[in-house]
């Protein structure tokens, strides 16, 4: 693991948002959902693709707050543009547990 400076960490814009729409993503190579995440007035609603279909249903995801990296370049995945990275913990079996706050925070709140 390489050590980074506080200035390096500050470059990563990690913000909380609420999932407001979820769709199946059959064109993805691995099972995934298309997510629309409300990241507050300044950032807006952004799209993300997430390989989380084994642990989460669409109903479980609607209204869930998640932590997103909002300053990565847009990534084209099949016919979908993933605008933010939805963060999570990757388990040894490859399944992902989403990162989310313990208590609700305003959409767009930055992780410090």
Q: With respect to residue 69, please indicate whether it lies within any of the assigned structural domains.
A: yes
Phi, psi of 72 (to 5 degrees): -85, 160
Q: With respect to residue 103, please indicate whether it lies within any of the assigned structural domains.
A: no
Domain of 13, in residue numbers: 6-98
How many CA atoms, within 13 angstroms, populate the side-chain half-sphere of residue 107?
18
Task: Give residues with Cβ within 8 angstroms of 45, minimum separation 6.
Answer: 20, 36, 37, 38, 39
Question: How many structural domains is the chain composed of?
Answer: 1
Q: Report percent pLDDT > 90 for the chain.
A: 98
Q: With respect to residue 60, please indicate whether it lies within any of the assigned structural domains.
A: yes
pLDDT of residue 61: 98
Q: With respect to residue 22, please indicate whether it lies within any of the assigned structural domains.
A: yes
Question: Could you read off the pLDDT of 7-45 as tens digits, one per residue?
Answer: 999 999 999 999 999 999 999 999 999 999 999 999 999
CATH label of the domain that carries residue 68:
2.40.50.140
- pLDDT tier at 6 (50, 70, 90 boundaries)? very high
Q: Which residue has the higher pLDDT, 94 or 34?
A: 34
Q: With respect to residue 105, please indicate whether it lies within any of the assigned structural domains.
A: no
């Amino acid at each position: 693991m390489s050590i980074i400076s506080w200035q390096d960490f500050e470059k990563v814009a990690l913000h909380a948002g609420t999932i407001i729409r979820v769709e199946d993503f059959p064109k993805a190579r691995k099972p995934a959902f298309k997510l629309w995440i409300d990241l507050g007035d300044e950032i807006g609603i952004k799209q993300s693709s997430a390989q989380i279909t084994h642990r989460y249903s669409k109903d479980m995801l609607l209204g869930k707050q998640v932590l997103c990296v909002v300053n990565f370049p847009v990534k084209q995945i099949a016919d979908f543009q993933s605008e933010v990275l939805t963060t999570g913990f990757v388990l040894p079996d490859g399944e992902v547990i989403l990162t989310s706050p313990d208590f609700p925070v305003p959409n767009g709140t930055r992780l410090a």
